[in-house]
């Protein structure tokens, strides 16, 4: 199986970091919209900021109505939901709760670790956690 990758721009990365800092001390969350190329490259074209309804340092929850609006908007604009973004104060691996929701949302999960200032991405392939290569481009 070819390596799975997530393609994002520097501007998108900068926006996610800025959003995360604004949301501190709580986890921030977004949906990543774009296209899947050759079944293994997930290309982000839009970042949709979502409210963390739990206002928690250790978890996030997106509003179901807001989720439906974004899914409808993506469909109307011929985009796929290619990923879920959220932040962790410490640690960049998916939590046990993340793993449960990754099974329900089989897309790329991009996580920003605030304490280490780093991004990592993951997906589940046949219930096995796989790290995803992050490709950052200028545009």
Both ends of the chain: CA-CA distance in Å?
Answer: 27
List pLDDT tens digits, range 37-70: 998 999 999 999 999 999 999 999 999 999 999 9
Angstrom distance (rounded) from CA 101 to CA 15: 24
Q: Which domain holds residue 66?
A: 5-137
CATH of the domain at 107: 3.40.140.10
pLDDT for the residue 86: 97
88 in Cβ contact with 57 (< 8 Å): no
CB atoms within 10 A of CB 133: 12
> pLDDT above 70 covers what percent of the chain?
99
Q: How many domains does the chain have?
A: 1
């Amino acid at each position: 199986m070819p390596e799975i990758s997530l393609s994002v721009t520097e501007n998108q990365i900068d926006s996610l970091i800025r959003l995360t800092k604004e949301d501190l001390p709580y986890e921030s969350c977004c949906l990543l919209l774009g296209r899947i190329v050759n079944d293994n490259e997930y290309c982000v074209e839009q970042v949709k900021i979502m409210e963390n309804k739990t206002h928690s340092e250790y978890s996030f929850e997106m509003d179901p109505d807001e989720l439906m609006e974004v899914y409808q908007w993506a469909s109307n604009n011929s985009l796929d939901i290619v990923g879920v973004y959220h932040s962790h104060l410490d640690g960049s691996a998916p939590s046990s709760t993340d793993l449960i929701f990754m099974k329900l949302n089989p897309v790329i999960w991009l996580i920003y670790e605030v304490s280490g200032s780093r991004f990592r991405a993951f997906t589940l392939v046949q219930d096995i956690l796989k790290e995803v290569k992050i490709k950052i481009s200028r545009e």
